[in-house]
Amino acid sequence: MRRVIILGSTGSIGVQALDVIRANPETFEVVGLVAGSNREALDAQAAEFGVADTGLGEVEAEQLVRDVEADVVLNGITGSVGLGPTLAALEAGRVLALANKESLIVGGELVKGIARPGQIVPVDSEHSAIAQALRSGSGSEVSRLVLTASGGPFRGRSRAEMASVTPREALAHPTWDMGLVVTTNSATLVNKGLEVIEAHLLFDVPFSDIEVTVHPQSVVHSMVEFVDGSTIAQASPPDMRLPIALGINWPARVAGVGAPLDWTASHSWTFEPLDDVAFPAVELAKKVGRAGGSYPAVFNAANEQAVAAFHAGRIGFLDIVDTVARVVDLHEMPSEEITRESLAETELWARATADRLIAAA
């Protein structure tokens, strides 16, 4: 029986995790639930699953993770506010099923420095796919990682054609149902840039050996190419319950958690090169990732501010990544050692700088 704490329990990842647990009561027990602000929904979840330990917000999440006995912490919080709970889970010795990519990206070596080997299990479908494919060979046999991207709602459009994109259009993702920030990030491909940095940190593969290919069907979730020319891909219908279940039960699979592909039917899968001119976020993320240190925190914080400004009607769609790039260019790496406090200060600077550039536009 796996004792599970779910952070972000009323969000998309949390709700789907509870679907998995509800269907597998002999495998999982929910021992803690934390939501962002929706107390009514949180209380309903706690009543259904018989959970006494609950909380709201990242501060209470940290405390609950440290105090409640658990085997696994699923961090499904959105944004860099998930860093504190991530560090708390690792310091408490829990297995961390990580859906909150921002905490690893922002925390970088700070997170990796306290994580034991195998303590972080990825929940993003792409990184879960890579983790599964890596079972096929040793680390020294890996040639490169290939992350797939749906291409979002604007796949195939030129940069000029996206100049007048509206917030409503940006939220019309063709495959996944996600929150406002993640869905917008998928439209700009900032999300794929963040995933490239995450892949580098999770699997210790250099950025030169991490590629992105556009796969609109979202059935092949990512691939690992090995030195002998073999490529191992993980394929399944687009359903986050599969990587969530694997994340909280790693390395064992949960039977029946998702429907398999129908191999008696015809399938057409396509793969296309990424248009770096129309979608410069991935190359910008690689630049930021190579710089390391506090640069990924700047990238993420500036993006969160720009996304909010776009949805408030203060900037255009293309201005999101343009603003992030300008903030990154203005950043100077602090000379002192990276700490949680210094990262928080850097994020405040990045948000303020992004706001200033947006106001001046």
Q: Which residues carry a binding-site annotation for NADPH?
A: 10-13, 36, 38, 100, 102, 179
Q: Which position has the token pair 């054609």?
A: 161
CA–CA gap between residue 185 and residue 317 (Å, rounded): 11
Q: In sequence order, what are the beta bridge partners of 272?
A: 214
Q: Would you state the structure tokens that stand for residue 164, as one six-digit string?
A: 């007048």
Going from the C-alpha of 258 to that of each of 32, 245, 349, the distances in angstroms are 25, 9, 43
User: Does residue 145 contact residue 226 with C-beta atoms inside 8 Å?
Assistant: no
Positions at the binding site for 1-deoxy-D-xylulose 5-phosphate: 101, 125-126, 150, 173, 186, 191-192, 195
Positions at the binding site: 10-13, 36, 38, 100-102, 124-126, 150, 173, 179, 186, 191-192, 195
Indicate the DSSP class of residue 107: H
Nearest to 131 by CA among 270, 46, 257, 247: 247
Q: In sequence order, what are the beta bridge partners of 55?
A: 34
CA–CA gap between residue 331 and residue 333 (Å, rounded): 6
Positions at the binding site for Mn(2+): 124, 126, 195
Indicate the DSSP class of residue 151: -
Strands 54-56 and 28-35: parallel
DSSP per residue over 152-205, as a string?
GGGTT--TGGGTT--HHHHT--SS----HHHHHHHHHTHHHHHHHHHHHHHH--
Indicate the DSSP class of residue 80: G
User: Does residue 211 contact residue 144 with C-beta atoms inside 8 Å?
Assistant: yes
Nearest to 346 by CA among 291, 309, 307: 291
**Strand spans (E) along the chain:** 2-7, 28-35, 54-56, 72-75, 95-98, 120-122, 142-149, 210-214, 220-226, 231-235, 272-273
Please list, residue by residue across 65-78, b when 16 or more beta carbons sit within 10 angstroms of its beta carbon and e when fewer do.
beebebbbbbbbbb
